[in-house]
Amino acid sequence: MSELLSRGVFRLTSCPSIEGAAAIVGAKEGEGPLGALFDQVHEDSYLGQDTWEKAESQLQTQAVQTALKKSGHKPEEIGLLFAGDLLNQCIGSSYGLRELQIPFYGLYGACSTMGEGLGLAALFTDSGLIRRAAAVTSSHFCSAERQFRYPLEYGGVRPPSAQWTVTGAGAVVVGPSGKPPYLKGVATGMIQDLGVTDINNMGAAMAPAAADTIRRYLEATQTQPGDYDRIITGDLGAVGSELLVDLLGREQIDVSAQHDDCGLLIFNREEQDVHAGGSGCGCSASVLCAHILNEIQSGRWNEVLFVPTGALMSTVSVQQGESIPGIAHLVHLSSKRWPQPEQE
Amino acid sequence: MSELLSRGVFRLTSCPSIEGAAAIVGAKEGEGPLGALFDQVHEDSYLGQDTWEKAESQLQTQAVQTALKKSGHKPEEIGLLFAGDLLNQCIGSSYGLRELQIPFYGLYGACSTMGEGLGLAALFTDSGLIRRAAAVTSSHFCSAERQFRYPLEYGGVRPPSAQWTVTGAGAVVVGPSGKPPYLKGVATGMIQDLGVTDINNMGAAMAPAAADTIRRYLEATQTQPGDYDRIITGDLGAVGSELLVDLLGREQIDVSAQHDDCGLLIFNREEQDVHAGGSGCGCSASVLCAHILNEIQSGRWNEVLFVPTGALMSTVSVQQGESIPGIAHLVHLSSKRWPQPEQE
């Protein structure tokens, strides 16, 4: 049964396991530093579909199917499925997952969606409400560019603070297998808005939310950054990552030795022309499923805070002069369970 | 602690209460049959803001503030807030709720959002994860028309099966007050897609999802339609409502005497030129908060199944020739708790 430590912060006493995970990505992600770790790399940006939106749905379908296969479970063994994406009305999820026939909660958390979905899956299984849950999210460079920015044919030039939307999906199956990686804690994000209005600098807009969620989790668990091997945000990129370290530093919380960012891990910024790094729901989701869980499973990392970050604006809100609210949902991953009262 | 009866179907053993609820609507809704029941009716479609999107955010802000006031609780007493809307990237919620500083789970369930949010709030409180939660959603005729259809200035003519997006928001506070209305059960929706492609007939696209969810709840609880005073769907409208009765009839489930639809309740179709009825996230949310909860509190209705329905398409998916997937989330409301093992 999950224990509420402070507002929105839960200790997962049973430590549910990630029983299976999969990351399906595009060609550019396959050429990056994590290329060899993904379950599948698609050279064709259409994945054999006739539109990029349908291709993005396919990414979700394949990610869930692969995660299920790796977990050894069938769709009918999944009690609840949590999913969302960045496309208008979250069509990546609705169309990608409609065939599965799993009870479905649609989410909107922008690029924080994997943190939100994994957190909810963890809380539902840890509290005993259901035995097994799944979470999935995706993004696609081409569908995101034409929805949020310009048609690709336009060839717009990006400022250095801009980030590159990852083509990829990540899916996890959460359940009671009793094997690592384990889920030990969840911190639900609160919307933070410090007034950033630059749509080409979303890392800066999201950093305050990441700082708030990390600080709240450390306080509630009475831990320090040094208690973790890594504290990995979603897609703050180069600009937002610096800002995060700075913001937490002002509160005497030094995460500089532990902090990394999925947006910085997925691409080689020197060689891949991605400016400030990767972004999109698929960024943190695919880095989690291909890289972070591997490091924990292998025992190279023991305690990791995974903190996907989302910018909750739209093209309309930005055109109307609104600032960009951010949110960050945290999940505490580990190679070990909490010390259990009854040892199994 | 919630008890899992079948996939996605939960019995809420503690029967959390709706401690406060509020509905804030626009002028047309105020002129409808439920006009006198809303907490506030805005004659100005801008609510004093400079855009309709900001007006929609205001609807959410006011709905939550009013529901909190009526519940006697402050924002800091709310453990989790579940919210979403139909605007691209759910900006109605992000901007309308950012000041509240409540741990926030963003949802996307299209017009089923109040069913999804209320269901999650019920499960989180019933299972003891948190003490008190809130859920809110909204829609706005003017922001929806220009996003999904045409600029209002264009004056497009609608076919008879088209529905009218409600301008309104509904918010609920769920907690352990021990007073009616009570929450007794939840059925999580599964995505259903029978291949309807007519964007002007979304009731037909959503009816199969409503039928599926209602059937699953009745089966899991071993109850009949006659055990309920009302079975009220979200916004199937005239066309979808007929279809729902027909679909369930084919499975020997006759809901004709109990079924009603928020989209039919909120407007006077003879006089208000709304064609097949009301729609939008704000439709079922405002009818719940202004009307359904009142009827239960007054004891006129004892057992009610509230089943908001959502169409999970986007303008892009429809342009790309996709059919329209639907989803329906069910919440069982009651004037009485389940018989309790220890009587209080």
Sequence-separated (6 or more) residues with CB below 8 Å from residue A254: A225, A245, A248
Helix (H) or strand (E) holding B333: strand B330-334
Q: Do B91 and A313 touch (CB under 8 A)?
A: yes
Report the residue of B10, B80, B108 to disrupt the A interface, i.e. the one with the largest count of A CBs within 10 Å.
B108
Q: Is A338 on the interface with B (CB under 8 A)?
A: no
| Cα angle value A246/A248/A253 (rounded, 5°) | 120
Residue by residue, DSSP assigns B4-29 as EEETTEEEETT--EEEEEEEEEEHHH
What is the dihedral angle through the alpha carbons of A216, A219, A225, A228, rounded to the nearest 10 degrees?
A: -90
**Which tens digits make up the pLDDT trace of A214-237?**
999 999 999 999 999 999 999 999
Q: How far is A328 from chain B (nearest CA, A)?
A: 10
Sequence-separated (6 or more) residues with CB below 8 Å from residue B43: B27, B30
- What domains sit in chain B, N to C, each tagged with a CATH number? 13-175 (3.40.47.40), 182-334 (3.40.47.40)
Q: What are phi and psi of B172, to 5 degrees?
A: -130, 150
Q: Is A46 on the interface with B (CB under 8 A)?
A: no
Q: Which residue of B has its CA nearest to A323?
A: B95
Nearest to B312 among A7, A89, A129 (CB): A89
With beta carbons under 8 A apart, name residues in chain A contacting B53: 316-317, 320
The burial class, CB within 10 Å (0-12 / 13-18 / 19+), for B341 is exposed
Residues forming beta bridges with residue A11, ordered by sequence position = A3, A185
Q: Is B105 on the interface with A (CB under 8 A)?
A: yes
Question: Chain A window 198-217: which residues touch B at a Cβ cutoff of 8 Å?
Answer: none
With beta carbons under 8 A apart, name residues in chain B contacting A124: 123
Sequence-separated (6 or more) residues with CB below 8 Å from residue A68: A20, A74, A75, A78, A134, A173
* Band (B161; pLDDT cuts 50, 70, 90): confident
- Token pair belonging to B256: 């004709």
Nearest to A106 among B7, B108, B193 (CB): B108
pLDDT of residue B182: 98
Taking the C-alpha atoms of residue B202 and residue A313, their distance in angstroms, rounded to an integer, is 27
- HEC profile of chain A: CCEEEECCEEECCCCCEEEEEEEEEEHHHHCCCCHHHCCEEECCCCCCCCCHHHHHHHHHHHHHHHHHHHHCCCHHHCCEEEEEECCHHHHHHHHHHHHHCCCEEEECCHHHHHHHHHHHHHHHHHCCCCCCEEEEEEECHHHHHHHHCCCHHHCCCCCCCCCEECCEEEEEEEECCCCCCEEEEEECCCCECCCCCCCCCHHHHHHHHHHHHHHHHHHHHCCCHHHCCEEEECCCHHHHHHHHHHHHHCCCCCCCCCEEEHHHHCCCHHHHCCCCCEECHHHHHHHHHHHHHHHHHCCCCCEEEEECEEECCCHHHHHCCCCCCEEECEEEEECCCCCCCCCC
Taking the C-alpha atoms of residue A307 and residue A262, their distance in angstroms, rounded to an integer, is 10
Taking the C-alpha atoms of residue A306 and residue A153, their distance in angstroms, rounded to an integer, is 36
pLDDT of residue A201: 87
Between B144-148, B203-207, B325-329, the lowest mean confidence (pLDDT) is in B144-148
Whether the CB-CB separation of B81 and B97 falls below 8 Å is answered with yes
Q: Do A91 and B128 touch (CB under 8 A)?
A: no
Kindly give the interhelix angle for B237-249 and B202-221, rounded to the nearest 10 degrees.
40
* Band (B344; pLDDT cuts 50, 70, 90): very low
With beta carbons under 8 A apart, name residues in chain A contacting B130: 4
Q: Rounded to an integer, what is the distance from CA B4 to the centroid of its chain?
A: 23
Q: Is B107 on the interface with A (CB under 8 A)?
A: yes
Q: Do A88 and B316 touch (CB under 8 A)?
A: yes
Question: Chain A window 5-34: which residues touch B at a Cβ cutoff of 8 Å?
Answer: 7-8, 10
| Cα angle value A132/A126/A284 (rounded, 5°) | 75
Whether the CB-CB separation of B163 and B275 falls below 8 Å is answered with yes
DSSP B199: T
ipTM for this model? 0.97
Taking the C-alpha atoms of residue B170 and residue B286, their distance in angstroms, rounded to an integer, is 5
Whether the CB-CB separation of A182 and A333 falls below 8 Å is answered with yes
pLDDT score of B130 more than 60: yes
Whether the CB-CB separation of A97 and A70 falls below 8 Å is answered with no
Taking the C-alpha atoms of residue A221 and residue A199, their distance in angstroms, rounded to an integer, is 34
Taking the C-alpha atoms of residue A109 and residue A84, their distance in angstroms, rounded to an integer, is 7
With beta carbons under 8 A apart, name residues in chain B contacting A8: 79-80, 103
The dihedral through the CA atoms of B105, B71, A193, A230 has a sign that is negative
**Which tens digits make up the pLDDT trace of B10-64?**
999 999 999 999 999 999 999 999 999 999 999 999 999 999 999 999 999 999 9
Best CA proximity match to B247, nearest among B287, B289, B319, B192: B192
Between A303-307, B151-155, B287-291, the lowest mean confidence (pLDDT) is in B151-155
Cα separations in angstroms, A304 against A112, A172, A242, B118 = 17, 16, 19, 32
Q: Is A95 on the interface with B (CB under 8 A)?
A: yes
Q: Do B108 and A87 touch (CB under 8 A)?
A: no
pLDDT score of B119 more than 80: yes
Q: How far is B94 from chain A (nearest CA, A)?
A: 6
Best CA proximity match to A172, nearest among A334, A286, A311: A286
pLDDT tens for chain A, 344 residues long, are 899 999 999 999 999 999 999 999 999 999 999 999 999 999 999 999 999 999 999 999 999 999 999 999 999 999 999 999 999 999 999 999 999 999 999 999 999 999 999 999 999 999 999 999 999 999 999 999 889 887 888 888 888 888 899 999 999 999 999 999 999 999 999 999 999 999 888 899 999 999 999 999 999 999 999 999 999 999 999 999 999 999 999 999 999 999 999 999 999 998 998 889 999 999 999 999 999 999 999 999 999 999 999 999 999 999 999 999 999 999 999 999 999 765 44
Residues forming beta bridges with residue A209, ordered by sequence position = none
With beta carbons under 8 A apart, name residues in chain B contacting A316: 53, 87-88, 91, 147
Between A144-158, B134-148, B319-333, the lowest mean confidence (pLDDT) is in A144-158
- Token pair belonging to A63: 């990610």
Nearest to B51 among A2, A104, A320 (CB): A320
Q: Do B101 and A320 touch (CB under 8 A)?
A: no
pLDDT of residue A342: 58
Question: Taking CB atoms and an 8 Å cut-off, how many pairs form between chains A and B?
Answer: 181
Q: What are phi and psi of B238, to 5 degrees?
A: -65, -45
pLDDT of residue B342: 58
Whether the CB-CB separation of B294 and B20 falls below 8 Å is answered with no
Question: Chain B window 225-284: which residues touch A at a Cβ cutoff of 8 Å?
Answer: none
